[in-house]
Chains A and B, each alone.
Chain A
Amino acid sequence: MGGHRFFTKNNEIKGLWQEALGDSLLTVSRLSRIHYKGRFFNYPLSFLNALSNLGLSESLLILLSYLKSRGNPHPEEKTFEQWVSNRFGKRLYETFFKTYTEKVWGIPCNSLGAEWAAQRIKGLSLLVAVSNALLNLQKPKSLINEFNYPLNGPGMMWEAFQETIRAKGGQILFNTEVTGIFHENRRISHVEYALRNSRKRVPVSHVISSMPITKLVTALDPKPPESVLEAARQLRHRSFIMVGLIVDNKALFPDQWIYIHSPDVKVGRIQNFKNWSSAMVPDPCKTSVGMEYFCDEGDELWRLTDEDLVAIASGELSRLGFCDTGDVSDGFVIRQPMAYPVYDEGYQERLMAVRAGLEEFENLQTIGRNGMHRYNNMDHSMLSGILAAQNTLGATRDLWEINEEERYLEEDTAERTPFLESLFSRAFARMDKLAFATALGSVCGLAIFLATLWLIAKGGDVVGPNMSLLSQYFFGYSVTVKGACIGFGYSFAWGFLFGWLFAYIRNLFLALSIYQIKKRAEKLSIQDFLDGF
């Protein structure tokens, strides 16, 4: 539901999309901006655009706030608020991050936690950042300015898959709810489903589940241990309502979607479907927008009637200045429960407990965003399905290794990480200053010592008249055995000094470049922030 960019670095998924959609896979130039206080801000934020929109005084305050945060950062970075404020300043955080985050999660940012913030930051492996920087892979999704999209929306892809499955003799049941998953001897034996008021139980050899992991656990029969059930009950989801509006207006805005940061309205994001693909809005005089509201299942917003929601959405679209209320000719509502797994405090421990409970079953695999309670994007969710299918044929791929942060890596690079780790740890190894200084000093000293002795051995009326000019710098030096020893001393000292400085500067530059790479990676990760939902 909604707009989904078809973008992946995984060739297998890319090939699958192309195979299913062929020429219907359009290439779309991305435009998505932030709407705040009646103005559009580029996303990712750009300095000049922000300056011109915010005005000089507000920009100055943001700059001062930034400088303050750099000079006096939060001593600890346990919350998302602390993390962003430390990097961008509190004022910029409040302007561009706080409202939207709180709309999406329904939790104050200073208690959105530690765990959630850490999850975003955790992926910032320095090693991966260095790999990406050196291999030129460091490009967050938000900076990718083109993506693919099916002519008539993502449903086209699922219809193509459906046809293929049926053509090969497979069966797909729609509007069918799984009501029971029966197991014995650590294997799922039967699955029960409800279809049109009747229940049917079928024997199974393998189960690949994309249903919310919380529901999966409760559907097990016999029930898993109470600790697993309790952990599953505490895993939270955020739900989502999309109010589709048909507007009698040719063009509202050029973006595929815009983020609504204004706290005055409840809408969090607005999709403009004709900008994804004009074929999705056949009447060129009309525009179809999707007003996206983030909520909890059963809360006040969730319980509103469709008519009320359409009225609210129409009013907000008008208040935001995109159209007049009277321009909205029709509307509809789609409620999507459990749309986003919530990374709240302690979710990882709870998820581990649930996973441990499910891993008892040798023929059960969970896939996708809800199945794994993980922020997989579409490509990674599909990849988890492919790998799960391969596992049923004898492969032994660990689906939980498909990391969401893998988006920063090419697939093959991820596989090469141990090799890269070894390579980079050698390349970035620090040089021992004392050792290099001593080595260079010794060789320099030895060179002067031997050169002097060589001239003495050669002899002549005047021994080494040119070499003796070194005494201009090496006081006391002469082309004699004693002078050779003095020359050794001087030369060793200079070589030592030069070697130490060389090693120091070399180490310093390496450290600075790694620091720069790390900081850039941190900023890139936060630039991707809004695209994460």
Chain B
Amino acid sequence: MERGGRDVSSTRQQTPQKDEERLFGSVLLLNGKAMGLGLGLVLGLGVFIVTNWLVLKGGNPIGTHLALLSQFFIGYRVSFLGSIVGFAYGFALGTLSGALISWIYNKIVWYRN
């Protein structure tokens, strides 16, 4: 998770500060793009890896439970091709979620400070 911080407090108070205050006085702000990209990659790769793990393990039928993802990820199957489709869905969902988390977080921080 990439964090882009901004010193919210210092924008309001320009008095001399101790080191501790300078380090801890600021509140972290999240970088929406970085957070989205990070979470997207984690989720996309997660789906890609677990799908291929089941494909490699083999069996008949393959990954009946994971295949339920197709309820939400249209076109997804427990196959190598499906893992790529799953990566795309996972990446999109993760990016959206990461960006949304950052946006809500930053709004609340801004409001509270």
What residues make up the interface of A, taking CB atoms closer than 8 Å to B?
125-127, 130, 421, 424-432, 434-436, 438-440, 442-443, 446-447, 451, 454-455, 458, 464, 466-467, 511, 514
A435 to B26, CA, bound (A): 14
Contact of A443 with B71 in the complex, beta carbons under 8 Å: no
A367 to B3, CA, bound (A): 45
Question: Distance in Å from the Cβ of B18 to the closest Cβ of chain A?
Answer: 8
Please count the residue pairs between chain A and chain B whose beta carbons lie under 8 angstroms apart in the complex. 89
- Would you call the interface of chain B mostly helix, strand, loop, or mixed? helix
Q: A125-B19, A424-B23, A427-B5 are in contact. Are A432 and B28 (CB under 8 A)?
A: yes
Q: A126-B19, A127-B19, A425-B5 are in contact. Are A511 and B24 (CB under 8 A)?
A: yes
The one of A130, A429, A436 in contact with B5, judged by C-beta atoms closer than 8 angstroms, is: A429
Point out which of B7, B19, B72 has the most chain A C-beta atoms below 10 A from its C-beta: B19
Contact of B105 with A426 in the complex, beta carbons under 8 Å: no
Point out which of B7, B20, B25, B68 has the most chain A C-beta atoms below 10 A from its C-beta: B20
A331 to B102, CA, bound (A): 76
What residues make up the interface of B, taking CB atoms closer than 8 Å to A?
3-7, 19-20, 22-29, 68, 71-72, 97, 100-106, 108-109, 112
Chain B residues contacting A440 (CB-CB under 8 Å) are: 101
The one of B6, B20, B103, B105 in contact with A126, judged by C-beta atoms closer than 8 angstroms, is: B20
Contact of A429 with B26 in the complex, beta carbons under 8 Å: yes
Chain A residues contacting B68 (CB-CB under 8 Å) are: 466
Q: A125-B19, A126-B19, A447-B97 are in contact. Are A431 and B7 (CB under 8 A)?
A: no
Question: Distance in Å from the Cβ of A488 to the closest Cβ of chain B?
Answer: 14
Contact of A514 with B109 in the complex, beta carbons under 8 Å: no
Contact of A443 with B23 in the complex, beta carbons under 8 Å: no
A425 to B19, CA, bound (A): 10
Known: A428-B24, A432-B108, A466-B68. 4 other contacts (CB 8 A): A426-B3, A431-B28, A467-B71, A514-B24
Chain B residues contacting A426 (CB-CB under 8 Å) are: 3-7, 26, 28
Contact of B72 with A126 in the complex, beta carbons under 8 Å: no
The one of A125, A428, A432 in contact with B105, judged by C-beta atoms closer than 8 angstroms, is: A432
Contact of B101 with A130 in the complex, beta carbons under 8 Å: no
Question: Distance in Å from the Cβ of B37 to the closest Cβ of chain A?
Answer: 16
Contact of B108 with A425 in the complex, beta carbons under 8 Å: no
The one of A427, A438, A458 in contact with B108, judged by C-beta atoms closer than 8 angstroms, is: A438
Chain B residues contacting A467 (CB-CB under 8 Å) are: 71
What are 6 of the A-B contact pairs (CB < 8 Å)? Answer: A126-B19, A425-B23, A429-B26, A438-B105, A451-B72, A511-B24
The one of B71, B106, B108 in contact with A434, judged by C-beta atoms closer than 8 angstroms, is: B108
Chain B residues contacting A446 (CB-CB under 8 Å) are: 100
A467 to B104, CA, bound (A): 27
A440 to B27, CA, bound (A): 17
Q: Which residue of A lies closest to B111 (CB)?
A: A435
Contact of B104 with A438 in the complex, beta carbons under 8 Å: yes
Contact of A429 with B28 in the complex, beta carbons under 8 Å: yes
Contact of B27 with A428 in the complex, beta carbons under 8 Å: no
Q: Which residue of A lies closest to B23 (CB)?
A: A428
Sorted from nearest, which 7 A-B pairs have the closest CB atoms? Answer: A126-B19, A426-B5, A435-B108, A429-B5, A439-B104, A439-B105, A429-B28
Question: Distance in Å from the Cβ of B25 to the closest Cβ of chain A?
Answer: 8
A432 to B20, CA, bound (A): 17
Contact of A514 with B101 in the complex, beta carbons under 8 Å: no
Chain A residues contacting B104 (CB-CB under 8 Å) are: 435, 438-439, 442-443
Q: A429-B7, A431-B28 are in contact. Are A421 and B22 (CB under 8 A)?
A: yes
A514 to B104, CA, bound (A): 29
Contact of B27 with A429 in the complex, beta carbons under 8 Å: yes
The one of A430, A432, A435, A454 in contact with B24, judged by C-beta atoms closer than 8 angstroms, is: A430
Q: Which residue of A lies closest to B99 (CB)?
A: A443
A492 to B45, CA, bound (A): 25
Contact of A425 with B22 in the complex, beta carbons under 8 Å: yes
Question: Distance in Å from the Cβ of A497 to the closest Cβ of chain B?
Answer: 15
Contact of B100 with A443 in the complex, beta carbons under 8 Å: yes
Q: A438-B108, A443-B101 are in contact. Are A127 and B22 (CB under 8 A)?
A: yes
